Every structure is written in C-alpha cells, then in structure tokens.
Structure 1
Amino acid sequence: MLSTLINAWKVPDLRKRMLYTLIMLLIFRAGSHIPIPNIDASIIKDYLKSGQLLGFFDIISGGAFRDFTIFAMSIIPYVNASIILQLLTIAIPSLEQLAKEGEEGRKKIAQYTRYGTVILALIQAIGLTFGLKGAIVNPSFINMTIIVLTLTAGTAFLMWLGEQITDKGIGNGISLIIFAGIIARIPSMIATTFKYVSGGTTSFLGGLGFWIAILLLIVSVVVMQEAQRRIPVQYAKRTVGRKVYGGQSTHIPLRLLQAGVIPIIFGLSIVGFPLQIAAFLPNTTFATIVNRYFNWNSFAYNLIDFILIILFTYFYTAIIFNPIEVADNMKQYGGFIPGIRPGKPTADYLTRIMYRITFVGGVFLALITVIPILIMSATGLNVAFGGTAILIAVGVAIDTIKQLEGQMLMRHYQGFLK
C-alpha cells in the first residue's frame, strides 16, 4: 500500500489529484470544528453515553456530532438516500430501466439522490433539533430554525465536497469523507486509553490487549473483504461469418461480504432506536425498563442485533445479486458452468452457492459488530469504536489503493503506446 502511494506521488497528474483530495479532506476536518451556536455540547455528550446509534453518528462524523458542529450529521443522509434509491430501483420498473441506460441513466439517478439527500437531511435535522431540544440554550423558533438550516446546509456542502473529490481527486469522495471522519477518531481513542490506564480504571495489559484486538479485527476484515468464491464459466465457440467467437474460460467472483456494511447499519438502527427514545425521555418508566434490560452491552441487545444482521445480510444480498438475471445473460452469450445445464439449473446452482456464502458473511458481520462490545466490557475501556467503522475504513482504503493502481497501470499503457 505504501509503495503504491509513493509511486503514485511520482506521477505529476496523480500527485495533483492526491493534493486536491487532501485539501478537500482538510476543509472537511476544519468544518468539523465550527460549532453551531446556542448549543450546550456537554448535554450532547451525555446523550452519547446512552446508546450506540448516536455514538455511530459521532464515529462517522469524526467527533463532529459530539461537539455538534456544522457537519454533525456528516454524509449519513446521502448514504440513506443512496440506499433508498437502490431499493426503489428494484421495486419500480421505470427506475430499473433508467439504471440500465448507461451514463445518462446514472446521471439522472445521481440527481435524484441529491434531491433525496437534501430532503432527508432536512427531516433528520428537524428530528435532531427537537429530540435534542434540552441541549439548546434558548429554544426559540428562530434559534431552532437556524440549527435546522445549518445542519442541512452542512450535509449539502459535504455532498458537494464528495462529488468534487470523485471528479477531480482520487477515489470515491463520499467514502473518503466517511473514512477521514473515522480515522480522525484514532488520536482521541489513544488518548482515552492512556487516560484509563494512568487513572487505574484499567490495567496496562487491558489497554494493550484492547489495541491488539483491534489490529486482529482489522486483519480479519482485510482477509474477509477480499475473500470470494469463484464460479468457473466456459463460453462455447460461435462462428459469425468468417470469425470465431468464444471458446474462453472465465469465472464469476462471488464476494463473501457482498452486502458490505448495510446489514450492520440496518440492524443498529432497529436495536438502537429504543435506547435513543429512552435517552430523549429520561424520567419515564419506558426509559427505566429499556436501560435496565436492553442497554448496549446486555445479552438481549447483542443477541437481537446478531440475528438482525444475519437476516438483513440475506435480504440485501438478494436485492443486489439476481441469480436468474446472471444465468440468463450467460445463456444469451453461450456461457455455462461446467457440469450444470444453462437456464434454471444454473440459476438454482448460483442461488444455492450464494445462500451458503451469505450465511458465512452474515455471521462474520454479526461477530465483527458484537466482538468490540465484548472487548470493551472485558477491558473496562469505554472507547467509541465498532466493527462498522473498521469495515468502512478498510473497504475504502482497499478501493482507493486499487483505483490508484488502475490509474498508474493505465498511464503505463499510454506511455507504451506513445
């Protein structure tokens, strides 16, 4: 990875793109320290201690939510809008047709995603402003309106920033903004570890074991992120006029973590919802019951989260991977899996393989979510980190390096042709 970055830096065009990306990310980090007026940040920090859902927002935003800055909502509304558009593309035929129209169709869907982002950001900003009303110093209509508009504008600006990085920089801009927010939390995590160890809250071995466990989790995520089942495909020879086509062997790469982090986000949103409602209604019977029997490190909370993640992994994989469509495309171009007849038998075979892979991937995603909680309970360290953050950070880092390698390879070919 380091050698790839060094080699890319030596290429003038790539160096320019890398510097542009770095400047845009520095602007994001600078904005993450501009607070929204009339907010008592200490009350926000008390809310964060009550559950994982707002804690997840804080990790993704790189601490901006904790201090309730202009980028407190980060790019989460954009991610939600993208997921909703992806689901609607499957359900609505006109959107599905639009997605198949190539570059123009993708531009139109991207435009719908921008509109959806602004709408969702406005709704989320209103929800946060009213939900965190106790943290507003003077909760007048004018002040609350300013907070809502500031949060919405902050998300819209980050969306624009991400698109600029994608067009003029390196990698996917939206993903890199999330990546920068996660990485920005590492210094505070190290400082918190030292604070716990020096204060006697946890032992030196406990702090050391905590970071060793994180490194092991990162290694396991890298391995599983790249793991795939390759289905061999043979294409029969076809004669068109005097030319012979086909007769080649290839494979279908079925990734183990096909669904990515989406199942974790879905599961966390559902199990974390009662805790956040309890945080907004502190002095009620509902809050007492939830905090006693369903707090973030309880057995019931983690068991339900574990099961939901596996179920959502199956659900989302079924949406993004269509075995019938793959089998039909193979049949259309004369492809077949050795030993399997084209058509429905191929679709059934791919479905069976996908179910097995999805189960392994779902269990891994569930474990990567639950294990950090167990580690924090065992070591006594209350450090905000999770498997979702590790998955996102590793995935973005791998994709960005692959894009850099692709850019360098393309330039080497161009130089050879010249």
Structure 2
Amino acid sequence: MKKYLKDYEYKILYKRIIFTCWILLIYIFGTHIPAITTVRTYTAISNFYKMTAANVGGDYQALNVFSLGLGPWLTAMIFMTLFYYRDSDRMMKQTRREKSTKERIFTLILALIQAYFVVFTLLSHVKIDHSEKWLIILVLVTGAMILVWLSDLNMRFGIAGPMPIVMISIIRSIMRQNVALSELGPTLLISAALVLIIILLVLIFIEITEYRLPYLDVMDVSSRREHTYLAWKLNPGGSIAIMISFAAFFVLNSAVNLIVQFFNSKNNGVLNFLDFSTPIGITIFLILQLVLSYGISRLILDPKRKAKDFKKNGDFFPGVEPGKPTYHYLIHKARRISWIGAFIVTIIIGIPLYATLLIPQFSKEIYLSV
C-alpha cells in the first residue's frame, strides 16, 4: 500500500511537471507572435521599465501577444489582498468565484490603462490610424487575460502557478541586457560588489530585526515568569511595498500620458518627467515608495486590532492604561516603526537610481543590481 501511494504521488508530480512545460511552451510561442509586423517599435520606454516588466512576465523589447505579461493581474491581486486585509472575515465569506470575478475586472481595467500607455509610447513615431492602435490594444489586453487564464490553470494543475512564466521572462531579460562588466574596471567592480554585499546585509538585518514591546499577560499564572512581548518587524511591508510602488508608479505614468493624449490628440509623444532618466521622475517614485511603504506597514501592523485584542484578553503594557491609552500608545509605536523601515528601504533603492543620472552609460548594470 505504501509503495502504491508513493508511485501514485510520483505520477501526479510528473503530470504537473508536464502540464507546466506545456504552459511554458504556449507562453514562449506567444512571445514570438508580434502584435504589429509592419513597423518597428520605438524604444521610448526606459531600460528600467523593460526590466520591471520582465519581472512580471512582460516584454517591451518588441510588441507581442504577451507583452503586458502578468503585471496587471499581480497588481490586482496585491491591491485586492490589501483591500481585504482589515476585513478578513468578509473575504472568508466570499466564494472563490466571487473573488476571482473581482480580480479579473480589476485586472482588465489595469491592462487597458497599461496597454494604452505602451502602444502610444512604442508607436508614437508611427503614422497609423487610431483604430489600428486600438486594435493592437485589444490584442495586448486579450493576450494578458489569456496569460492570466494560463497561470490560473497552472496554479491548479501545474507547479508554482505564475512563477515559471516569470522566471522564463527574467532569464530572457538578463540575456538581452548585454551587461558590459568588462568596461567597469576592477576597482569599480570590487567597489560595486562591496556595496551590494553591504546592502544585502542591511536588508537581512532589517528582515530579522524585531521591535519588541513588553507587556503583562494576566492569564499567565505560572510561577516561572517569562517575558511576554509584542514583536513587530522593522520593515513590516517587506517586498510587497516595493512591488506595489513600481506597479503604482507605472500605472501613474500610464494614466498621466493617457489623460494628456485624450485632451491633446496632437501630442503623440510621451511625457519624460515621469521617467527614471530624469531626477524629477526618480524623486516622484521615491516619494511614492516612501508613502506607500509607510501606509502598507501601518496597515499590516494594524494597531487598532491589536488594542482590541489586548482589551479583550485583559493584557496591558506597563504604565499604560487599557482602552484608548493603549491604542494611542500602539499608534505612536507603529508610526515610528513604519517610518524607520520606509526610510531605510527608500534610501537603499534611491541611491543607485540617482547614480544612473551621474553615470548613465552604466544604467543597465545599475538597474540590474536594483
């Protein structure tokens, strides 16, 4: 019986691997189907946008059926998760179909905005009718929704959901960058490696560091008193805040250009101030990163719910009365922790981005390190 179960598990694993391979073959085949074949696309989108798109399965090197990748879907899922974070009971009551329908509608809206920006950016130099551009937008949005459907199928019948698609896209992006490390020189290479190691150690320190708030547990009646404390991470937002910041900045860029195109149809170019090649664009992104990182950290810490739990359990902090004083105490601590984590992450991301303005010839290498 044990041998039969073991063989059965292996058969299921093989089937999942084969199914994932078929999904990847479809994805690779789709990336070779151009959305437009008559003209070459314009490279107005920066290398950083191209790398960011590759991290979610997209491809802005040339317009193809799957150029949008999984960006709209992943962004929609993250925002929906954060939206329901405070009201988890409401989310639990919803069926899988209801949650999936809301995700798909939000994904469709984001895909339309992103496709509009990509098409009117990459094809800004091409004299084609608006009807043709809207047809290309329809192809891109359709491809994005098909990719979402394939990822959902792989999540149920394959392995690792959307991650195999993302990994293939990242590998392709790295191979396309043609990073000229030999031009950096040994001194600069060693300095860059040391900086990356220091940043990595700082990130690990932030990840494992906890801010502990000791409190008294009234239910602990044991003779041996152990210290009880509320542990909060120094960077509660983690990588979610960074992902949302990039997605929000890209959506902001797309929305601004969409509005400009709508009110000024003669302007076929793209606004450059919301770009990583300008100090204004980098500054706006870093401000967005700081604010979103702080807000997401506050949302995850949720001092209001913690204060209710303390009041319900009868626990209290030394020198702090239960009820509103405990809530205000937790609010104060949550603000301090959230701002510290947000500032550290913003500085780590901001320094290399500003460095690209000083040495633009190595922008690809710096973007890749980020």
TM-score interval for Structure 1 and Structure 2 normalised by the shorter chain: 0.7 to 0.9
After TM superposition, the structure 1 stretch with the greater mean CA deviation from structure 2, 106-115 or 268-277, is 268-277
Q: Could you tell me which residue of structure 2 aligns to residue 66 of structure 1?
A: 61
How far off its partner does 1:167 sit? 3.6
| Paired-residue identity, % | 19
How far off its partner does 1:306 sit? 3.1
For this pair of structures, how many residues does the alignment match?
Answer: 353
Residue identity opposite 2:28 in structure 1:
A
Relative distance call for 1:252 and 1:237 in structure 2 (3 A) is: closer
Q: Could you tell me which residue of structure 2 aligns to residue 254 of structure 1?
A: 232
Contact 2:44/2:121 (CA < 8 Å) preserved in 1? no
Within a 5 Å distance, the mapping from 1:334-349 to structure 2 comes to: 334-337=314-317, 340-349=320-329
Q: Could you tell me which residue of structure 1 aligns to residue 342 of structure 2?
A: 362
Contact 1:39/1:135 (CA < 8 Å) preserved in 2? no
**CA separation in 2, counterparts of 1:203 and 1:303?**
30
**CA separation in 1, counterparts of 2:257 and 2:143?**
26
**CA separation in 1, counterparts of 2:19 and 2:212?**
35
Residue identity opposite 1:381 in structure 2:
F
**CA separation in 2, counterparts of 1:209 and 1:149?**
47
Instruction: Please give the per-residue CA displacement for 1:191-220, whole angstroms capped at 9, x wherever unaligned.
Output: 3225x72xxxx4454456545544554454
Contact 1:207/1:379 (CA < 8 Å) preserved in 2? no
**CA separation in 1, counterparts of 2:260 and 2:130?**
24
Task: Please tell me whether residue 296 in structure 1 is matched to residue 276 in structure 2.
Answer: yes
Q: CA RMSD in A?
A: 4.6
Relative distance call for 1:69 and 1:294 in structure 2 (3 A) is: closer
Within a 5 Å distance, the mapping from 1:201-280 to structure 2 comes to: 202-206=184-188, 209-210=191-192, 213-214=195-196, 216-232=198-214, 234-237=216-219, 251-259=229-237, 260-261=241-242, 262-267=244-249, 270=252
Which of these residues, 169, 172, 176, is aligned with residue 181 of structure 1?
169
Relative distance call for 1:22 and 1:300 in structure 2 (3 A) is: same
How far off its partner does 1:100 sit? 0.8
Relative distance call for 1:359 and 1:212 in structure 2 (3 A) is: same
Q: Could you tell me which residue of structure 1 aligns to residue 304 of structure 2?
A: 324
Contact 1:55/1:384 (CA < 8 Å) preserved in 2? no
Relative distance call for 1:209 and 1:26 in structure 2 (3 A) is: farther
Contact 1:78/1:114 (CA < 8 Å) preserved in 2? yes
**CA separation in 1, counterparts of 2:208 and 2:30?**
32
Task: Please tell me whether residue 147 in structure 1 is matched to residue 141 in structure 2.
Answer: no
Q: Could you tell me which residue of structure 1 aligns to residue 110 of structure 2?
A: 120
Contact 1:59/1:181 (CA < 8 Å) preserved in 2? yes
Instruction: Please give the per-residue CA displacement for 1:74-103, whole angstroms capped at 9, x wherever unaligned.
Output: 11211332355356558xxxxx76x41464
Residue identity opposite 1:154 in structure 2:
G
Contact 2:20/2:154 (CA < 8 Å) preserved in 1? no
Q: Could you tell me which residue of structure 1 aligns to residue 94 of structure 2?
A: 105
Task: Please tell me whether residue 163 in structure 1 is matched to residue 152 in structure 2.
Answer: yes
How far off its partner does 1:257 sit? 2.7
How far off its partner does 1:328 sit? 0.4
Q: Which runs of 5+ in 1 are unaligned?
A: 1-10, 91-95, 391-418
**CA separation in 2, counterparts of 1:207 and 1:278?**
42
Q: Which runs of 5+ in 2 are unaligned?
A: 1-8
Residue identity opposite 2:65 in structure 1:
I
SS state at 1:254 partner: strand
How far off its partner does 1:236 sit? 3.0
Task: Please tell me whether residue 85 in structure 1 is matched to residue 86 in structure 2.
Answer: no
Contact 1:267/1:312 (CA < 8 Å) preserved in 2? no
